[in-house]
Structure 1
Amino acid sequence: MEDFRYEKDADGIVTITMDMQGQGANTMNARFEPGMRDVCDKLEAEEGLTGVVFASAKSTFFAGGDLHDILATKVVDESTFAFIEANKATYRRLEKLPVPVVAAINGAALGGGYELCLACNRRIVVDDPKAVTGLPEVTLGLLPGAGGVVRLTAKLGLETALPLLLEGKQVPPQKALKIGMVDDIVATRDELVPAAKAWIKANPEDAVQPWDRKGFRYPGGDAVHPRIRQTAMGASAMLYQKTRGLLPAPEKILDVAVNSMRMTFDAALRMETRRFIGLMATKESKAAISTFFFGMNAIKSGKVRPEGDRWKATSAAVLGAGMMGSGIAYAHAKRGLKTMLKDTEMANAEKGKGYSEKLCDKAIGRGRMDEDAKNALLSQIEPVTENAAPGSVDIVIEAVFEDIDLKDKVIADTWPMLSEDGIYGSNTSTLPISILAESCPEPERFIGLHFFSPVDKMKVVEIIMGEKTSADTLRKAYDYVQQIGYMPIVVNDSRGFFTSRVFGTFMDEGCQLLVDGLAPSAIERAAWLAGMPVGPLQVFDEVSLILGQKVRKTHKALDERLGVDSQFGHHNTATVEVTDPMIEMGRGGRQYGGGFYDYDAEGTRRLWDGLAQFARGNAEIPMEDAIDRILYRQAIETLRCLDEGVLNTEVEANLGGIFAIGFPHHTGGAIQFIRGEGVETFAARARELAEKYGERFAVPDEMYDRLRDTAAVAA
């Protein structure tokens, strides 16, 4: 009973304090069910028992299931079913006790932890923003498997419970009280257990759960109520639109929630178990747990950050008040980082600050900001046309046009602004940092900081290490990115780095499919079915065909300057074949009036009917092949980046691909996608695609060895 301290007071109230030994949080590990079974045995045999309080000795209440165990599950069978049912049985035994049971929630109660709270008769939480409650299993490709779907639906009704179950939000105390997820709030942790005992004494007969009472009715209506039936039907349609049928967990949650209202409570719990174990071994669940739990935690905790003290910038300068520079200035101001926004013309600098004002006005319109907050944010941005005083700026970010000669000039001119402890970052998307660093007096303090457009929505920064960039500069850059609330992805220097290389293959494969004869609408549909947020032709229009052409010309000029053949983007042959003629026809993309799409005055788009001229024939391309070509092309380029050492870790490959360039969320990222398919299965399919469609899908077999020889790792 070391994991569960059992204390009975003079009033007959037993306090169970959970304190799982050897770990920082209480979880449903292998010792949990035997321990809880012992607790239930003792409670059921306890003479003079008047009530039970569940408390925690940890800083959190209960963290839920042990994800290491779930990740290790390869096959589910009857023993898996029995294990889950045994865990749930202890919760059901608590509900059947003839005395009130109260959860004293001192910190986060999530997943299995909140399911324990639901099995209690009362839930009291401390008024602390960290004391969140919720059922986030859907974000891990799972469903709440310890009674959470069934109990929350019974407690709150389908309409209120569904959003909580399908979105997996973690709810702070005041909102949880308003919704009905908790029943009472106390000001301090010291008040929790006394408040729980006081409620037990005042409500000695309140020991039966609502769903165990005769005549129980679901809040808001039962399964046949017209409004509930409409909710269920609408939720199903919205789910498909959102998940495209690529995520099984939300569909199973909806299935359990709705059908639990049509059967007995215990039968519903068993159905929930069956659906849960059906998800445990899926590749979608493995992907979500690996990438969005372990991977995200590795990034947040700085597992790939160089060791050293935390660094914080107190002043910044952004050079170039275009869309990127303006967005970066806004990101700084939102986090209280004083920033000079510099441009050659004051009108441009003022316009750049105006971008932040527009974003603030939009937030005010949505009720997410007030005028005082807007004024405070805007006061952090100072439009200027001149350099700051020498040695006065902690971080300088160059965000001028992707022209190497211009960048060389700007970097050399503005370097003196940098403080003695400061760092200089370039927002280049493709130009080698090591070459740009040649313009710096101290190249060890120069680093790439590649933001993504629109900056206010794309919360990730690709940090690029140059050949001479120091570990100290990387540490400061990592801390700066986290300081402004963005996710850092660290890569090594190369043409196009990681994200631009992979993004280029996505757009090129759209052009390849067009050249091969697939209808443009089918190309965009294939990307949608694959799980990409936007089709490759639409993406090309948004970033502009002209920008892509400029990047190619810049790298060609760089090759000539260096006397090398970098082979940058050499597989992207269809991009040149299609977009260069389109640019000559005046179709440079959306901002130029049209590209792959035509746009009317209201911005409505329609695929340009002239695209058929680029098809070499009417090749019969199965939709399955089109989908795989879009996914495999990006995954293979990501694998090349990992093999070449451009990428350092799988987790950065996965998270960077998802959050920076939109690789499908359900896969867990490009490298996790390969693992999910199975390395040998993926390799065989890649060979098949190479034979049918070209050598861009050909991968040397030894490139897979890293994945064959190691299990998926967080960092």
Structure 2
Amino acid sequence: MSDFDHPMFRWDRDGEGVVTVTMDDPDQSANTLNDRFSAELPVLVDHLYAERESITGVILTSAKKTFLAGGDLGMMMRANDSDRPRIRALLDGSKQQLRRLETLGRPVVSVVSGAALGGGYELTLATHHRVAVDAPGTVVGLPEVTLGLLPGGGGVVRSVRMFGLLTALQDILLTGARFRPAAALEKGMVDEVVATVDEGLAAARAWIAANPEPAQPWDRKGFAIPGGTPASPKVAAVLPSLPAVLRKQTRGAPATAQAAILAAAVEGAQVDLDNALLIESRAITELICGQESTNIIKSMFYDMQAINRGANRPEGVPAHTAKRIVVLGAGMMGAGIAYVSAKAGLDVVLKDVTLEAAEKGKAYSAGILEKALAKGRSTPEKRDEILARIHPTTDPADAAGADVVIEAVFEDPELKKKVVAEVLPYLASDAVLASNTSTLPITGLADGVPRPEDFIGTHFFSPVDKMALLEIVVGAKTSDVTLAKTIDIARQIGKTPIVVNDSRGFFTSRVIVEFINEAIAMVGEGIPAASVEQAATQAGYPVGALALMDEISLTLNRRIREETIAGLAAEGKEKPLHPAAAVVDRMVDEFGRGGRLAGGGFYEYADGRRTGLWGGLAEHFGASNTEVPLLDMQERMLFAEAIDAVRCLDEGVLRSVADANVGSILGIGFPAWTGGVLQYVNQYKGGAAGFVTRARELADRYGNRFSPPESLVRRAESGEEYT
């Protein structure tokens, strides 16, 4: 029977007095913590209290594929200081309703089918028992930290009281980890796992029958936080090290959300639950109204969502699903491409010059799968199924019928053309012809190919199985059909595709060189190399620029520079030589230090492992220049990339701001707290105008390469942002 009529919550009471409340927003494909939810939750809770005497229990479930998604990120992204009172009131109001729900005096069980992340999982924490349905989309967790936020619906407070302070922080809150049903059960984040929703409802009714008068652990007399409070000896022995661990993990980079989580958890563990909830509200209000969360939400949610939904995909082209792919070259990149393709269900032909090399490429996939098996993330059947899809070969004829080929051989234009020509006669007549290159212009590689309209660049990032980005490069003759197909293939193999137009270095490889060169130039100015590396990591880069240069190799850096100069000269253009060039030339020519694979570069290596910075840097380049402020060092790197990204936009290399922001974070490690390379300009103090003023200061101190482009100056004068 139903005696409650509200669109968000469907109410069904059975003959035993168990009420099943089904969340089913009529205006959205997913249930979210939107205005409707916020307005109707108090009405639902009021009705539960009004009917309490006739109720024996409550089951919360969902009619959608998503159990309940998180809060209104658009509102959070737009929030500023003036919104603090309103946001605080919203948070406290929703927490009050969840608190009333868990103190209803009747058993409340959540049956989770689909994603219950952030606010969705916080709702389940306010129920007495959690049942998860082992369906493909079911996942639970508190991932707010990944958006520069913290759980604001009681997630910090209840997780600390449920799992203990250290476990909650280290395993759940600071990681933002997402847990599939089996892992969630093992962690204690859910209490039961069942196969179907019907089984979940039955399990919920059984638990209600067996627990007629439940109470949350923290509402029971004598409750103590598992593992102890911050004052208990065991926790007190570990707790002081957590800030240091956090600094080590972030390498000194801005980590506002992590610091706020740590503070809210520790402070909240020392007071009663109601005051702990107030502490949590205060902390998340500061984060919501701060700039860092705005930056991250814009890039890693809205920009990412736009890209993954096909913002770059030409309209009117039918959806495409690849079935058979040929990967040419079984080295690190080719092996990685083969793995992600086979994992996605494609039949993979992995070709190399020798069968031994091709088999070695397949062995790369076997190694990944064995590790997944050892960690319980896969099964022998799944491993064997994926490996069976990879066919090592040396015979071009084995490419028969393939609808996509990706060459991943050495960065030599003639070699790339040769290996594609070998398999071309055997491919499907409309197969996508793709080149995995990081710098070579696609238009040039398409020269001589019978079907240049089918030729496109697919710049993967290493390691392919871990890096989410795919930079798709459109040549002068690449057709919209080929671009649309390539975007579909990227999504099919689980990659986030940005689309850029052809040029030397495209977007990512071109811009990251500016970051590296600026760091190298500082070494040439006599700034201690250790300070340069520290400036990079404290700015938020995942690795120091000198360490990254060693991985790429100094000799490759020089070769790219020389090819770029030659390419520009052929077009009648000239680019001033970066001061880093002199340092690289001395490192290679005078000292024979070409990078890690050459045995040494800016760092020393033992058995391929980095052991420390090369002592000769101080001897040959000096290390006495301590006058350059840390902020200048950091902003020289950040501004170098941002200014070149503006040029990429001006030159038509970049097609959108979203591509710039997402590509810079996912592909080349631009600090995530900035929101990406163009959002960095938007969010700089004073906006674009403040950025221009600072760029001119850097240009006066360190060189004209920091002079802001005219387009940026005009944008600053008009008060526009990059959107």
What TM-score does the superposition give when structure 2 sets the normalisation length? 0.91
Aligned partner (choices 177, 188, 193) of residue 185 of structure 1: 193
Aligned to 1:273: 281
Shift of 1:706: 6.1
1:354 CA drift (Å): 4.6
| 1:669 correspondence with 2:676 | yes
> Residue 56 of structure 1 aligns with which residue?
62
Aligned match of 1:326: 335
1:420 paired to 2:429? yes
Q: Give the deviation of 1:660 after TM superposition.
A: 1.4
Change over 3 Å in CA distance of 1:639–1:348 after alignment to 2: same
Match of 2:3 in 1: none
Aligned equivalents of 2:311, 2:378: Cα separation in 1: 34
Aligned to 1:587: 593
Whether the 8 Å contact between 1:663 and 1:669 is mirrored in structure 2 is: yes
- Please tell me whether residue 18 in structure 1 is matched to residue 23 in structure 2: yes
Q: CA deviation at 1:366?
A: 5.6
Match 1:238 to one of 224, 242, 245: 245
2-structure distance, mates of 1:54, 1:357 = 42
Equivalent position amino acid for 2:679 in 1: Q
Equivalent residue, structure 1, for 2:118 = 111
- In the other structure, the counterpart of 1:451 is 460
Q: Evaluate the alpha carbon distance shift between residue 485 and residue 268 of structure 1 in structure 2; reply closer, same or farther with a 3 A threshold.
A: same
Structure 1 residue 31 corresponds to structure 2 residue 51: no
Corresponding residue for 2:78? 72
Q: Distance in 1 between matches of 2:610 and 2:308?
A: 40
Q: Aligned in 2, Cα 1:144/1:375: closer, same or farther, shift over 3 Å?
A: closer
Describe the superposition over 1:649-687 as per-residue Cα deviations: whole angstroms up to 9, x where unpaired.
222211211121111122221112222222222222112
**Whole-angstrom distance in 2 between the partners of 1:254 and 1:487:** 32
- Are 1:471 and 2:480 an aligned pair? yes
The one-letter amino acid paired with 2:596 is: R
Greater displacement, 212-221 / 602-611 = 602-611
Which residue is equivalent to 2:323? 314
Structure 2 residue 291 is matched with structure 1 residue 296: no
The whole-number CA distance in structure 2 between the counterparts of 1:294 and 1:368 is: 30
Residue 381 and residue 574 in structure 1: after superposition, are their counterparts in 2 closer, same or farther (change >3 A)? farther
Residues 608, 104 of structure 1: CA spacing in aligned structure 2 closer, same or farther, 3 A cutoff?
A: closer
**1:695 equivalenced with 2:704 (yes/no):** yes
CA distance in 2, matches of 1:124, 1:351: 44
Percent of counterpart pairs with the same letter?
Answer: 46
Residue of structure 2 equivalent to 1:86: 93
3-state DSSP class of the match of 1:15?
Answer: strand
Cα distance in 2 for partners of 1:360, 1:60 equals 29
| 1:436 aligned onto 2:442 | no
1:575 corresponds to 2:580: yes
Deviates more, 1:58-67 or 1:294-303: 294-303
- Displacement after TM superposition at 1:318 (Å): 2.5
Tell me, yes or no, if the aligned pair for 2:112 and 2:130 is still in contact at 8 Å: yes
Q: SS state of the match for residue 627, structure 1?
A: helix
In the alignment, the residues of structure 2 paired with residue 251 and residue 201 of structure 1 have an alpha-carbon distance, to the nearest angstrom, of 43
Kept in 2, the 8 Å contact 1:515–1:616? The answer is no
Structure 2 CA distance for aligned equivalents of residues 521 and 212 of structure 1: 52
Give the counterpart letter for 1:637 in structure 2.
Answer: D
How many corresponding residue pairs?
708
Q: CA deviation at 1:526?
A: 0.9
> Residue 54 of structure 2 aligns to a residue in which SS?
coil
Do residues 209 (structure 1) and 243 (structure 2) align?
no
- 1:599 partner amino acid: Y
SS in 1 for 2:21: strand
Q: Is the 2:91–2:153 contact (alpha carbons within 8 Å) kept by the matching residues of 1?
A: yes
Asked if residue 599 in structure 1 is aligned to residue 608 in structure 2, the reply is: no
Are the equivalent residues in 1 in contact too, given 2:228–2:235 (CA < 8 A)?
A: yes
Stretch of structure 1 that moved more, 595-604 or 661-670: 595-604
What is the CA–CA distance in structure 2 between the aligned matches of 1:336 and 1:236, rounded to whole Å?
43
Provide the rounded CA distance (Å) in 2 between the counterparts of 1:525 and 1:442: 49
Give the aligned CA root-mean-square deviation in angstroms: 2.7
**What are the superposed Cα offsets for residues 633-656 of structure 1, whole Å, 9 maximum, x if unpaired?**
111111221222211122221121
Distance 1:5-1:688 versus aligned 2 partners, 3 A rule: same
> Could you say which residue in structure 2 is the equivalent of 1:141?
148
Preserved CA contact (<8 Å) 1:418 1:424:
no
For residues 413 and 113 of structure 2, the distance between their equivalents in structure 1, rounded to whole angstroms, comes to 56
**What amino acid is aligned across from residue 57 of structure 1 in structure 2?**
A
The answer to whether the 8 A contact 1:81-1:277 is kept is yes
Amino acid at match of 1:301: R
Tell me, in whole angstroms, the C-alpha distance in 1 between the residues paired with 2:710 and 2:391.
Answer: 54
- Of residues 150, 160, 177, the one that matches 2:157 is 150
Q: Is the alpha carbon distance of 1:694 and 1:159 closer, same or farther for their aligned partners in structure 2, counting shifts above 3 Å?
A: same
Which residue identity lines up with residue 603 of structure 1 in the other structure? R
CA distance in 2, matches of 1:359, 1:52: 44
Moved more, 54-63 or 493-502: 54-63
| Distance 1:453-1:133 versus aligned 2 partners, 3 A rule | closer
Structure 1 runs not aligned, ≥5 long: none
Q: CA deviation at 1:699?
A: 1.5
Partner of 1:3: 8
Q: Is the 8 A contact 2:528 2:623 kept in 1?
A: no
Equivalent position amino acid for 1:280 in 2: I
- Whether contact under 8 Å (1:653, 1:670) holds in the other structure is yes
**Against the structure 1 CA distance between its residues 413 and 52, is the aligned structure 2 distance closer, same or farther, given a 3 Å change threshold?**
closer
